[in-house]
Amino acid sequence: MDPSDKILIEKAKSGDKEAFTELFDKYSHKILGYLYRYVGDYQLAEDLTIETFLNVYSNLGTYKEIGKFSSWLYKIATNCAKKEFRKKERKKEVSLDEPVETDEGATNIGELIADERDRPDYNVRETELKELIYRIISKLDKKYKEVLMLCDVEGLSHEEASKILKSNPITIGTRLRRARQALYGLLQKAGYRF
C-alpha cells in the first residue's frame, strides 16, 4: 500500500475529514473514468462515483490493509455499478448493425469504426473512436466487460481483479482471453483491422 494512503486512511478512520478529502481528490478521477467506461453515461458515472465514495466513507472503519486501497475502491465502484444495472435491468446486447445517430446522419457502429481509419482527420476523431470502442465494450456480456475494464483499461493484475470480482485469477485470465476475442471479433466484423 502507498505509505501516504496508509496515513490518510488512518486519519480518515479517526474522523479527519481533510484526510478523506485528500483520498477523494487522489482517486475520484480514476474511479469516475472507470465508471464512465463501465456504464457509458457520464452523468450516471458521476452519480456512481459519489455513491462509491459515500460507501467508502461509511465503511472506512471496516477496511483492512490486506491489499491495495485502490483495489478496495474499484471493488466498491464495481458493486455500485452492478447494483445500478440490476435496478435498470440493462442486460440488452447490441449488434454492430444497430443504427447510431451521428452528425452525418444515421449509420451503424461497424461503419463508424471502419470509416475512422481512413479519414484524414483521424487524430482529431481518435477520442470519438475510443468512446465508440468503450460503448461496444459496455454492451459485452457483464463478466467479459468487467475483466476488460479492470485488467486492460485500468491496468489491474489478474489477482487484483479476482479480489474485486470475487473469483480466482485463473478464471479472470480465461474470461479476459474470451473477452478480448469477443471484442476483436466484433471490431473485425465491423471492418476494423489490427
pLDDT in tens, 121-148: 545 456 655 666 776 777 788 888 888 8
**Helices 122-139/17-39 angle, 10° precision:** 90
Residue 5 has a pLDDT of: 83
Which class is 99-189 in CATH? mainly alpha
Put simply, whether the predicted model's pTM sits higher than 0.75 gets the answer no
Query: Is residue 115 predicted with pLDDT exceeding 70?
Result: no
* Helix/strand/coil for 167: coil
* Helix/strand/coil for 160: helix
- Alpha-carbon distance 179 to 138, whole Å? 11
Q: What percent of the chain has pLDDT over 70?
A: 71
* Helix/strand/coil for 154: coil
pLDDT in tens, 59-95: 888 888 777 888 889 999 999 998 888 776 544 544 5
CATH of 3-88, one of 1.10.1740.10, 3.20.20.70, 3.40.30.10, 3.30.60.50: 1.10.1740.10
* Domain map (residue ranges) of the chain: 3-88, 99-189
